[in-house]
Amino acid sequence: MTMTKKIGVILANLGTPDAPTPSAISRYLWEFLTDPRVVDLPRWRWLPLLKSLILPSRSKRIAKNYQAIWTEQGSPLLAITTQQQKALQAYLSARNINAQVEIAMTYGNPSMQSAVDALVENQVDKIIVFPLYPQYSSTTTGALFDAFANALKYTRNIPPFEFIHSYHLDKHYIDALAQSIKVRLKPDEFLLFSYHGIPLRYENQGDYYRQHCKETTIAVVDKLGLTENQWGMTFQSRFGREEWLQPYTDEFLISASEQGIRKIAVVCPGFSVDCLETIEEIDEENRENFLHNGGETYQYIPALNAEQAHIEMMGHLILQKLQ
């Protein structure tokens, strides 16, 4: 395929603080947690609580976690997303696609505004927004769409655009995920699929995120040929006091030995890039929980990150949008 028109691709993720410091994390969390898509409590009640109690304590605590995983290229999320950007740019160029791939974060930097401005300034003929969220949720994909729309608010000439809503059952995604698991999973390991949670209330209001997670899990399980007693599905990273989607990952791992599960491998299919929630929460904190409560071996299976199969999956979805 040879294309003369210039295509703009926005590879988008949630976001990351600019530095592993309490002040930088506080700024990032403020932007993140004031988004009504994420926390929809009444502003008059939520914002004072967030500013006076949550941010001061949480920023200091999280700073220590970020400092432990920070790299010379910045946070792992930004460093790996940059690898994805370069690999995807090369993939499209090799197929004679005149494309400009930009990174954007819903919160923090590089911002969605900077990505959109760069593409509009270069007069791309079409923009393809690629949220790195295989499973749709209003808290992630929905919030990212809002950021994209807001970034175009003052643009007189809005280019045609495509927004990839979800790809939780895309064949190339399932194949890449299944293969990544297959080469790492040991025969005697229980496979746990852990997804980022959302408040149960959001599901009751119509967010079908859990259904997407289930469908991804079943597709991968079928591809791997696992039996019912060889795998499970849980939800992690809950925040606050209200009920979130269950079962909870941390509680499952603490009690797993009581169910006869002594060897476990954990994969997080909803994370396209390894970040604080996978590196610190899953690979460190929950590893400790499992091993200190009767577990014998624990393996974290990394996100697809910049693996070639992952880049090819992204390229395939983008090429579909160009047909």
Q: Which residues are annotated as a binding site for Fe(2+)?
A: 196, 277
Total residue count of the chain as it appears in this document: 323
Strand stretches in the chain, DSSP E: 3-16, 97-108, 126-131, 161-163, 190-196, 231-236, 263-267, 297-301
3-class SS of residue 8: strand
Q: With contact defined as beta carbons under 8 Å apart, do 109 and 147 qualify?
A: no
Q: With contact defined as beta carbons under 8 Å apart, do 207 and 198 qualify?
A: yes
What is the arrangement of strands in the sheet containing 3-16, beginning at the earlier edge strand?
A: 97-108, 3-16, 126-131, 161-163
Q: Record the tokens describing residue 288, joined without a space.
A: 């400790």
Nearest partner of 18 among 114, 144, 109, 112, judged by Cα: 109
Element (H, E) at 215: helix 209-224
Pairing of strands 3-16, 126-131: parallel
CB atoms closer than 10 angstroms to residue 72: 5
3-class SS of residue 199: strand
Binding-site residues: 196, 277
